[in-house]
Amino acid sequence: MHDYGLEFAKVAIAHLLAVASPGPDLAIVLRQSLTHGRRAGLWTSVGVGAGILLHVSYSLLGLGLLLRSSPTWFAAAKYAGAAYLAWMGVQALRSRARSGTEIDRSADVDTTTSARSAFVTGFLTNALNPKATLFFIALFATVISSHTPRLVQTGYGLWMAIITGLWFSFVATVLTRERVRRAYLSHGHWVDRVLGIVFIAFAASLLFGARLLGVFPHLPA
């Protein structure tokens, strides 16, 4: 008899380690929360969690292995992810210092970005991250048995999506405490610029890692 409890424990631990590690998801929740407020941070977190469902869906359908086995499609995914992260990095680098009036308005009003925009930002950040793709392909190929019923595997996926959303919602809530956010708004353009460099570094790591793997053999050394 298959021990689903043990399998679930392995899935949960692997996922928690992945979620807790610094990456684009944490960086975007950090920026959205500090720049646009708690509401935007929470919706961004929900978007990140929804992105998990996308990875789970194609893994259940077997499309993850197909993607990994096709250099062309996997390269396209890496290009898309790197381009999106680089674009966010450039946007963050263009951040300017706020005036006193802007600081007061931003600190008091939590509607500087729409819920839909925040959700889409979180979703795309997670969905276009090829490292997340590799994580879920490996998880479903090595940790989760092929004999595990699809319904049980779906339950694992829902758990990971919910926990991801809750974790980043907690992060967003902590970051948007009034004292923390007002301090950020006063000097936030420097934080934004650092995060811009971080996003561009993530994008570069995707391309550089892909080149080492031979996915982009045409890139210059």
Q: What is the pLDDT along the chain (221 residues), one digit of tens a residue?
A: 467 788 888 888 888 888 877 788 888 898 888 888 889 999 999 999 999 999 898 888 876 566 656 667 666 666 766 776 777 677 767 766 554 444 444 444 455 578 899 999 999 999 888 778 778 877 777 778 778 888 888 999 999 999 999 999 998 998 887 766 665 555 555 566 676 776 677 677 766 754 434 443 443 33
**In a domain? residue 5:** no
Which residue range forms the structural domain that includes residue 130? 23-212
Count: domains in the chain: 1
Q: How far is CA 135 from CA 93, 98, 157, in A?
A: 29, 39, 13
| Within a domain: 34 | yes
Q: Are 87 and 26 in contact (CB under 8 A)?
A: no
Please check whether residue 14 lies inside any domain of the structure. Answer: no
Has residue 104 been placed in a domain?
yes
Residue 105 lies in a domain: yes
